[in-house]
Structure formats: C-alpha cells, structure tokens
Structure 1
Amino acid sequence: MSSSAFQFEQLVSRILRANGFEVHEAGIGGRDVGFDFNAKLGNEVWAIEVKFYRTARAQVSLLESAASRLASRGIIAGAWKGMLVVSCQLPPTLRLAFEDKFSITFVDRVDLLNWAARVPELLDELNSLLESDPTATPDASARPNEPTQTSKRLPEDGPPEDTKGTELCRELRALKRGKTTWSAYEELCDRILRYLFPNDLHGWHRQKRTDDGLNRFDYVCRIRPTTDFWQFLLHHLDSRYVLFEFKNYTGKIKQGQILTTEKYLLERGLRRVAIVISRAGAEADAIKMTQGAMREHGKLMLIVDDEQICEMLHMKERGEDPTDRLFELADDFLLALPR
C-alpha cells in the first residue's frame, strides 16, 4: 500500500469516528478479510472498504471489482451493511446504479468533504491529501440524502469476485524462464497488459525485431490519458506512445538490453517512454543506464519485474488502479535521479 493510500485510509477512519461510527480494524494480525474496517453505527454492523485513487474521475471497472469483493466478503463476515469509501467523485446516476446492483453504500470525495467539515482540521487534511480545490467541489448538502440514510442491507448471496489477477499471477510464476518459453511468455504478457490496462492504451501495434529469441518483438501503444499516470506521460514527458518490451531472461537484464530499448525511443516520434517487463529486474549498471537516458535525453524507462507485475494484478483484482503503482515507480525513479 502506498503512503498516500495508507494516509487516506487512516483519515477516513477518523472522519467516520467523528460522524458517530465505532470503527475497528478488520482482520487479525494483518489477515486480509476483504475489507478494511468493522464498524457500528447505532445497532447496525458495517463492513467498510477504503479505496484511494490518484485519478479523481470514477473508473467503472475498478469500482465494480471493489464493490463485488466488499459485498461478498461482508456477507461472509456477517455484516449487515457494506460501505465503499472512495477518493474519486461519483456521478449521481452511477452511484444509484451501483447501490442498486451491489446493495452497498458508496461514499465519495464529496460526501467525505461534507462529513469532514464538522471537524476543521480533518477537512484541511483531506483537502491537502486529495489536492482538491474547495471552490471546484460540488456541495454535498445539495444531495437529497446522506449516504447512510438510504443504505441497504447486504443480500443473502454475494456477487462473484474477480479472480483473473490471481490466475494470471499464478501462471506467470509457474512459467519457466529462458529462450525455450519466449513465445509463451510474450503471449502471457499480452494477456496481462490487456487485463491491467483495457481502457488506457490503444493500437497494440506489434513490431517484429531481430533479437536472440528472448524478446523477439515489442508493443507500441498509443496512450489514452484516462488516469493521472498516462496524463503525466503525455503532458509532462511529451510521449504520445509507450513502448513495452518483454524480457524472458533467467537472470537480471544487462546494459545491452537497455541500450537496445533506448534506440527505439524517439523524441521526434513522440515515443519517449518504455516499460520493460523483466522476470528478475535489472542489474545495477543497467539501472544507471536508464538514469543516464532520462537525465541526458528525457527518455523514461521503467523496469517492472514479476513481483511488481503480480502486485498490479492483485491491485486490479481488488478494485485498485494498477497505474497508481506505475506512477509510484516513476516518481521514485525521478526523485532518486542523480546529477
């Protein structure tokens, strides 16, 4: 969990307490029960899940995955009601459709700002964390009811949960590394990328290459600026396209592979970003070369290993935005960039 997500979760807990909820951490010893808090409001028992998104716009597929998981796990835990608290803003029609479909209560950033306003220091913290402009945020008092006033009981049977991320991660871990499995690896990477970023990329252009068989071709995709990460690449790095490379090496990739990738990044072609998917990451000298490419030519190369891919797959499955993890990788890389 990122530091911002952790701060948001803790702040939501305090806001709920300030609004009459009795809140306790869910799970024992860090065990994942599918939601963050057990809570009581009067005689009602709630299962509450908190989701922090860097992107303020509601992303339907992620919200559906999060809602399905919360409803299913809340029923198993014996909760009466479920609440999904999100940092994004929900259009009224979408909120009504979701609450009708999943029988859980949705609390978005507008509701949170309204609740936090009862304690000024909480409101200041929330505005700071969300980087929100109070003058540009709709007034929640204009809504017909507070979310808890129209809350529904959880149904007897929960909706099916998304398990595709777990299945893809298991398949990745089981796949042998090396030249003999390069074809299976690139096919698996294709399915992983399409699961993680179904609405973020367009084109999926295969570019055949002459190589040693371990990364015979790459993908060149056109960016759709649907989330903060892709907007960052487009508007701040001036990259309209992103290059994906698949490295099925048994060990860490070396300088030579990074040099080859850099040659495919073209400033005048608006292609200045590469995401290199490598089974075991990169050697120190290869990382230094990526730093030099950024420092001297403004070319960003992010290296993502099996563990990070699985982390993003599980994020997507839980209804979290996997591009938030890429944003953190880019942020860490740029903050640590030497002179």
Structure 2
Amino acid sequence: MVANARDQLKADHAVLVISLRRETIEAHEAIFKDITLLCLDDLFSTALECDVTILNELVDITRELNSGLAEFDRRTDISPAPPPLRLDVLRTKPAPGAAPPPPPETQGHRLAEELLEITPGRSTKPQKLSSGRPAAVSWRLYEIVAEECFQYLFGTDLTNWQRQDHVGGKDKRFDSLAKVSGDDVFSRSLIEDFRTRYVLFEFKNYGVKLKPNVLHVTEKYLFPTAMRSTAIILSPLGFHPDSREAARGAMRDAGKLMLDVTSDDLAAMLRAKDEGNAAGARFEPLLDAFLLDLGR
C-alpha cells in the first residue's frame, strides 16, 4: 500500500512508521525494499537524542497500545515485549564537574508516615498530622492521604482518577475510581483475566477488622459487564475472617475481585516505591494469594 501510494503520488521517498520493534520483523525486512522503515525502537532512539518530552509521550502511547482493548478477545503468540523503558537508565552520565544527581525519591516514605499516623476510627474530632497537613476528622484525613498514596504508588499505571462519586443515589458513593493504563503484569492481569478497565478504591479507617456488610456494599458498586469488576479496599486492620469468605464468594459467584490491603501493607509498598519497585510487583503476590486460597 505504501509503495502504491508513493508511485501514484510520484513521490521520491516513502516512509512507513510502525509500532512493532525491529527484532520482530527482521525476517521480513526484504518486503520493505525502497521504503524507509521506522520501528518503535527507532523512534525511541531518535526521541532520546532530541526531546525527552517526546520520549515520554511515546512511552505513554506504547503503554496504551500494549494494554489495548483489542487484546481482550484473543492472546497473541509473539514473544513477550522487552521491559518498559526507564528514563533514568537511558540518561547519559553527567559530565565531570556537573551537579550531582537529585537524591532518591522520598515521597513514599512521607506518605507512609502520614498514613500510619492517622488514628483509626470515625472520630469527629479534627486530627493534625506532624507533617503540617491541614487538620481534618480522621476518616476524611484517611481518605485524602490514602488516595495520594495510591496515585503515587501506581503512577501512570492508573490514570483518570475520579473522587467521591455517587452511585444509585446521593446516600451511596465510592471513594475513588481509576482507569487501568499500565502494561505491567498486574495491569494486564486485570485487563485480560478479570476484564476490568477500572479499579474502585474504598478507604475504611475503621478501628476494627472490616465485617462482611462493608464488602457487600462495595460489591454493589462493581459491574463486570461495564469493565469495572475490581476493588481495592484499604483499612488499618484488614478483613475479618468472615469478610475473606465473602470476598471469595463474590469472586466465585459474580467474578468480582475485592483485594484486602492494610495500612501497613500500603506503607511498605510506598517505601519500596521510593527504592524503584513497581506497584504491580507488590500487588501480584496479593492477587496470587487470594486466587490460590479460592475454594469451591
């Protein structure tokens, strides 16, 4: 098609830009005789030399392609894609005498300290954190900090965050909702295996383990047919044993996934994020443990 278009337009050259990596088409390069072929890795190399902003946009496009909806219906047999590009690795070494690189990220440690400092329970007395964050009642403070924690933790793997939206009436609402945009193993498991494009977040600053009635309310906000079948429920102490059985029942009967995350779990993930560990790598064991424990 490109060759025909070049001939019809009497053009001197023809360029074909594709989203595949060159290694996947090396055996077929003879097809592209007299046509300049630009593959994904060529674009990355060129962008790296001229503009990091363009490079970041290419990474975002690639992530969206890799987690595209077209892959819901079938799995491909091509070899796994190489690990995602890391800009910190690609950057050239600083010249002698240049300013030292910035210190490691510490936002995760700061958020973890704030999260664990919040007093569990639904007290109506405003609480002020040592970080200087504006005072608020503990349950509301927990929601605010928790959402920031997950946004930092997942980064671009979860996007389009929505907060405190009503569902089926003003007295029913979820805390946060985000779109799955990543191409890591955890994101692809949600998209391909659980057919979900959106993750619901519930933040429950309870002073006791969560009872099954809390999960039953969250379950009503999940709609597998609308690609929203997954919820991550954060609380200081986690699920009550009866709630774990309720979560397993929702998975078996309706394909609704509700993951239990404690404040200590999230704090550990945030600290690991500062060290360069991806959020998906910490959520994969939680997902595996839940599925392996799923009985009849």
TM category, shorter? 0.5 to 0.7
- Name which of 252, 265, 286 aligns with 2:243: 286
Q: CA, structure 1 residues 154+178, in 2 after alignment: closer, same or farther (shift >3 Å)?
A: farther
Aligned-residue offset at 1:208: 3.7
Q: Which residue of 2 aligns with 1:169?
A: 112
Which residue identity lines up with residue 310 of structure 1 in the other structure?
A: A
Q: Distance in 1 between matches of 2:208 and 2:236?
A: 7
**Equivalent position SS for 1:250:** coil
Q: Distance in 1 between matches of 2:110 and 2:88?
A: 30
Aligned-residue offset at 1:302: 0.2
1:305 aligns with 2:248: no
- Name which of 276, 300, 321 aligns with 2:278: 321
RMSD: 2.9
Task: Answer yes or no: is the 8 Å Cα contact 1:225–1:234 preserved in 2.
Answer: no
**Equivalent position SS for 2:225:** coil
Q: Distance in 2 between matches of 1:95 and 1:246?
A: 33
Q: Distance in 2 between matches of 1:234 and 1:199?
A: 15
Aligned-residue offset at 1:207: 3.7
Task: Answer yes or no: is the 8 Å Cα contact 1:201–1:221 preserved in 2.
Answer: yes
Q: Which residue of 2 aligns with 1:100?
A: 93
Aligned-residue offset at 1:163: 1.2
User: What is the 5 A alignment of 1:177-188?
Assistant: 177-180=120-123, 181-188=138-145
Q: Per-residue CA shift, 1:141-193, capped at 9, x if unaligned?
A: xxxxxxxxxxxx99995631211111111111111111131111111012111
Q: CA, structure 1 residues 238+170, in 2 after alignment: closer, same or farther (shift >3 Å)?
A: same
User: What is the 5 A alignment of 1:6-85?
Assistant: none
TM-score under structure 2 normalisation? 0.61
Q: Which residue of 2 aligns with 1:227?
A: 184
Q: CA, structure 1 residues 209+279, in 2 after alignment: closer, same or farther (shift >3 Å)?
A: farther
Q: CA, structure 1 residues 94+311, in 2 after alignment: closer, same or farther (shift >3 Å)?
A: closer
Q: Per-residue CA shift, 1:211-255, capped at 9, x if unaligned?
A: xxxx96411211113311111101111111110000010111000
Task: Answer yes or no: is the 8 Å Cα contact 1:241–1:272 preserved in 2.
Answer: yes
Q: Distance in 2 between matches of 1:90 and 1:203?
A: 21
Q: Which residue of 1 aligns with 2:103?
A: 160
**Equivalent position SS for 1:235:** helix
- Name which of 187, 198, 205 aligns with 2:155: 198
Task: Answer yes or no: is the 8 Å Cα contact 2:184–2:280 preserved in 1.
Answer: yes
Q: CA, structure 1 residues 89+330, in 2 after alignment: closer, same or farther (shift >3 Å)?
A: closer
Structure 2 regions of 5+ residues with no counterpart? 1-58, 61-81, 124-137
Q: Which residue of 2 aligns with 1:129?
A: none
Task: Answer yes or no: is the 8 Å Cα contact 2:174–2:201 preserved in 1.
Answer: no
Q: CA, structure 1 residues 217+270, in 2 after alignment: closer, same or farther (shift >3 Å)?
A: closer
Aligned-residue offset at 1:293: 0.6
**Equivalent position SS for 2:186:** helix
Q: CA, structure 1 residues 183+216, in 2 after alignment: closer, same or farther (shift >3 Å)?
A: farther
Task: Answer yes or no: is the 8 Å Cα contact 1:207–1:219 preserved in 2.
Answer: yes
Task: Answer yes or no: is the 8 Å Cα contact 1:249–1:279 preserved in 2.
Answer: yes
Moved over 3 A (4+): 88-91, 93-97, 153-159, 207-210
Aligned-residue offset at 1:333: 0.6
Q: Distance in 1 between matches of 2:84 and 2:253?
A: 42
Q: Distance in 1 between matches of 2:89 and 2:201?
A: 38
TM-score under structure 1 normalisation? 0.54
**Equivalent position SS for 2:209:** coil
Which residue identity lines up with residue 162 of structure 1 in the other structure?
A: E
Aligned-residue offset at 1:97: 3.8
Aligned-residue offset at 1:306: 0.9
- Pairs aligned (count): 200
Q: Which residue of 1 aligns with 2:10?
A: none
Q: Distance in 2 between matches of 1:173 and 1:334?
A: 28
Question: Which structure has the bigger radius of gyration?
Answer: 2
Aligned-residue offset at 1:278: 1.0
Aligned-residue offset at 1:325: 1.0
Q: Distance in 1 between matches of 2:245 and 2:159?
A: 31
Q: Distance in 1 between matches of 2:87 and 2:149?
A: 28
Q: CA, structure 1 residues 187+216, in 2 after alignment: closer, same or farther (shift >3 Å)?
A: farther
Q: Per-residue CA shift, 1:74-100, capped at 9, x if unaligned?
A: xxxxxxxxxxxxxx6476x95874341
Q: Which residue of 2 aligns with 1:124?
A: none
